Amino acid sequence: MPERIVVPFGPQHPVLPEPIHLDLVLEDELVVDVVPSIGYIHRGLEQLVQKREFTEYVYVAERICGICSFMHAVAYCQGVEQIMGLEVPDRARYLRTIWSEYSRLHSHLLWLGLFADGMGFENLFMRSWQLRESVLDVLEDTTGGRVIQGTCKVGGVRRDIGQEKLDEIHRGLDSFEQQCLDLGDVFLNDETVKYRLQRLGIVGKDEAYALGAVGPTARASGVPVDIRETGYAAYGDLGFKPVVETAGDCYARCAVRVKEVYASIDLIRRAIDGIPEGPLDVKVKGTPDGEYFSRVEQPRGEVIHYLRGDGTKHLARARIRTPTLANIPMLVKMLPGAQLADVPVVVLSIDPCISCTER
C-alpha cells in the first residue's frame, strides 16, 4: 500500500484567487482525503450592524464581496423592506434586475478567465477578461461604479437609466452576445478543455442535494434550484428558467456558467423591453421591527440574509449565509480520486469566494 502524505494547499497558492486552505491526503499523486480549513479573513461586518443605522448598513452589505456586491445590497434591502412592509416601485424592481444580471455577467466572465488560467490557457483568460471589461463599462456608465455600484437602497434605487441609454445598451447586446458565443464555443468544444475537465470531480444529483449544494455547482449535478424562480425583483415577470446540466463534473460546472452568460443577456433584453415608467423609490418611515430571511441568487448560488429589527434605528441582528460556505462540502466530495495536478481546477470549479464566506 502506498505511503500516505499530507500536502497543504493554500491559503496562498499561485493558482488560487481566494485564501482557502486544504490539507490534501495523498497516495503518490492521488488525492484520497481532504480536510478544509477556513477562517483566515475576519472583518467584523456582522457586528457593524449595531453601529450603523439600517439605511446606512447597505453600504457595508455591498462590501461583503466586491464581485457580487450589488446582489448583497439587494438581499439586504429586500429583507428590510419585507420587515417594514415597503412595496418597491416596479421601475426600481426592473433596474435591480438589470444591474443584478450585469453583475452576474461580470462574475461569470471573471471566473471563466480564472478557470482558463487554472488550466494554463492564457489566451482564453485574456479574452474572457476583455469581455468582462465591456460589462464593467456599462456598470460604470449607469451607476458610477465599476465594481461597487452603490445604487441599491432601502425602498428602491438611487439612480435611473434613461430610455436613450437603455436603447443603447439593448443595441450593444447583439455584438456582445456574439462575442460571448465565440468565447463559449472554446470552453464547450475545445478538445484540450474537454480533456482537462470531463470526468473530473464528479458528484451526482443525489449527493449534491444531500450535501446542500447551491448555484451552478448544484445545477451542474442536475439539481434544478435557482432562487430567481421565486420571482423576487422583476424575475417573476420575465419567465426565467434555470440552466441545468447532469454530468456533475468540472466540465458541467463550466458549461452551466457559460450558458448562464447567454441567459443573463436574454434577461437583460427582456427587462429593458418591459421596464415600466414610474418612481424609483418609496419614502422610508419608521424603523424595522421583526425578522425576515431574504434570499437572492448570486452568481455562485443562493445567499441568505437573516435580518432582525427591534424597533430601533439599528438592526438587532444580521447573519449572512453565503453560497461558498454551502458548496465547501461539495468540494470535499469532489477532490478524492483526483490527481494533485488537477486540484486547482477542481477547487476553482465551485468558484470559491472566501471573502464572502468569512466576513
From 330, 339, 357, select the one nearest 221 (Cα to Cα).
330
Question: Annotated binding residue at 353?
Answer: yes
152 is in an annotated binding site: no
At 259 the three-state DSSP class reads helix
What stretches of 119-246 show up as alpha helix (H) in DSSP? Answer: 122-143, 163-189, 191-197, 205-210, 215-219
Place of cell 464593467: 136
| CB-based contacts of 182, cutoff 8 Å, min separation 6 | none
Buried b (16+ CB within 10 A) or exposed e, 227-253: bbeeebbbbebbebebbbbebbbbbbb
DSSP string, 308-321: EEESSSSEEEEEEE
Q: Which of 109, 76, 62 is nearest to 309 (CA)?
A: 76
Asked whether residue 77 is marked as a ligand-binding residue, the answer is no
320 labeled part of a ligand binding site: yes
Nearest to 108 by CA among 122, 93, 87, 129: 129
CA separation (Å) from 36 to 9, 79, 255?
A: 9, 32, 26
In the block, residue with C-alpha cell 439587494: 74
- Collapse the DSSP code of 4 into the 3-class scheme (helix H, G, I; strand E, B; otherwise coil) and give the result: strand
Annotated binding-site ranges for Fe cation? 68, 356
Annotated binding-site ranges for Ni(2+)? 65, 68, 353
Annotated binding-site ranges for Mg(2+)? 46, 320
Annotated binding-site ranges? 46, 65, 68, 320, 353, 356
